[in-house]
Amino acid sequence: MPFILPANTLSAGGYDVANSLRFNVGSSDYLNRTLGAPTSDKIFTISAWVKRSTLGGEGYVFTIGSNGGSSPSHWYSIRYANEKIYVQRSGTGQLITNAVYRDTSAWYHIVLTNDTTQGTASNRLKLYVNGEQPSLGTATYPSENTILDGIDGARCAISLTYSGTGNYFGGYMSEVCFIDGQALAADSFGEFDEDSGIWKPIDVSGLTFGNNGFYLETKQSGTSQNSSGLGADTSGNDNHFAVNNLTAVDQSTDTCTNNFATMNLLDNFYGQGTFSEGNLQIAQSDASYASLTSTIGVSSGKWYAEIKWTAQTTGNFPALSWIGIVGSVATATSMGVGNNADSYSYIGDGSDGGKKRNNGSSSSYGDDYDVGDIIGIALDLDNNKIYWSKNGTFQNSGDPTSGSTGTGSAFDLTTPSSGFYYFAVSDQHDGESSTWQFNFGSPPFAISSSNADGNGFGNFEYAVPSGYFALCSKNLAEHG
């Protein structure tokens, strides 16, 4: 039951979530705090909206570990493993889904209720995913009135094992809630949209959170354990979390009510890229230079993105950067951006630096670019034109607002073979590597000037051309 939220704009007055927090496995990002005396050690509810960016291995969403030690005698966890969702507590109690959740373009809502006062065993632990209770491959339940010992003084963590080391979560989280003393169903946190039928969040600020309860909205961008931090609790309890290895850049506008494009981890068989930073950073090396693509493709409208070339190795030959669009995913290692009829790129470095490329042929276009430069792409699918900018200046005196005239357009685009165009990159030169960062409106790097599109979405380094929009679900609902 994966989904890409197309709006919340479909129903008037829908609740909007402004921010999420982006967790990167490679930098060991997590939040933690020490719990106090609970409202209940038998009854509680956990709710979180998550968007994965890593697959394979284990990634912990939420944990409690008694006494804050590395070998807690009592613990509780929600994690991904083998792409399934696992709920487990010390002693007896484990739920494992039959379904796998491996769509890295989608937001999922996870709710777990624990109420051991229930006489019926299956009511003591309940898991909901996107508003429904999933089929379970494993289901064991704690005994009636079992308590979770050691809550007072226990470590509560987001994106960390109950033992306090490793297995970090990779991806985005928003609207993370802990309700101490109540067993709430999923409809306390979300509802099905009356128009689309898609599960979406509702305002939870009126809930009673209990002694250890918290509500993480990621409204602030500081790194201290207080009301100005990324781990600030807005429930009214001031149960703020300590921030570990996260910075202001990790505060994202990619949320469960406005889903932004990232790069597609599932389209990586031939490209062999190394993905990180919420799939907004890719390093590509080895002999493969197949294209790596965005999670969202478009067939109409006007779209803008920025791609920063951040690293390059040279060796015998410097790695090249091919930045552009493709109309189909790669089916061979040689399918770099610009090597097919519906594939177009702007090249950085080497003998073709500054040239444009299509169908395996390069020709003069603009200035060469290098590591540190930001390349803007203005994709006009209403007039089938494409324009590239270097650090805010459109090349070839291009004017993306010129419509059908196409002043300075790099190419007249053909109909894509898949029906959609995807933003894409590729590296070229055997054994060398390039690294890029991608800004579809929720950047993984610091922005100095902060420019939004005409709808107020996105955070870009350079001005978005009039009539062009960030690649996100709310814009797609209106312009896609």
- Which pLDDT belongs to residue 6? 42
Per the CB < 8 A criterion, the answer to whether 373 and 309 are in contact is yes
Q: Checking DSSP bridges between strand 302-312 and strand 30-34, what pairing results, if any? A: unpaired
Per the CB < 8 A criterion, the answer to whether 426 and 380 are in contact is no
Give mean pLDDT, residues 129-149. Answer: 96
What is the Cα 99 distance to its own chain's centre? Answer: 21
**Of 138-152, 274-288, 353-367, highest mean pLDDT:** 353-367
Compute, in degrees rounded to 10, the torsion defined by CA atoms 458, 460, 462, 463.
10
State pLDDT tens for residues 153-170. 999 999 999 888 889 999
pLDDT over 80 (residue 315): no
Could you tell me the pLDDT band of residue 67, with boundaries at 50, 70 and 90?
low
Per the CB < 8 A criterion, the answer to whether 435 and 283 are in contact is yes
Residue % of the chain over a pLDDT of 90: 83
E strand segments, 8-92: 20-23, 30-34, 43-52, 58-65, 75-81, 84-89
DSSP string computed for 432-460:
--EEEEEESSS-SS--SS-B--TTS---B
Give mean pLDDT, residues 250-260. Answer: 98
DSSP helix/strand/coil, 174: strand
Tell me which amino acid residue 399 is.
Answer: D
- Which pLDDT belongs to residue 412? 98
Tell me which amino acid residue 29 is.
Answer: D
Q: Considering only CA atoms, which of 178, 201, 179 is closest in space to residue 190?
A: 201
- Which pLDDT belongs to residue 5? 45
The more confident residue out of 196 and 120 is 120
Residue % of the chain over a pLDDT of 70: 94
pLDDT over 70 (residue 400): yes
pLDDT over 50 (residue 77): yes
- Which pLDDT belongs to residue 7? 39
- CB-based burial label for 331 (10 Å; 0-12, 13-18, 19+): exposed
pLDDT over 50 (residue 10): no
Q: Tell me the pLDDT of the chain averaged across its residues.
A: 93
Give mean pLDDT, residues 329-358. Answer: 93
Give mean pLDDT, residues 464-473. Answer: 98
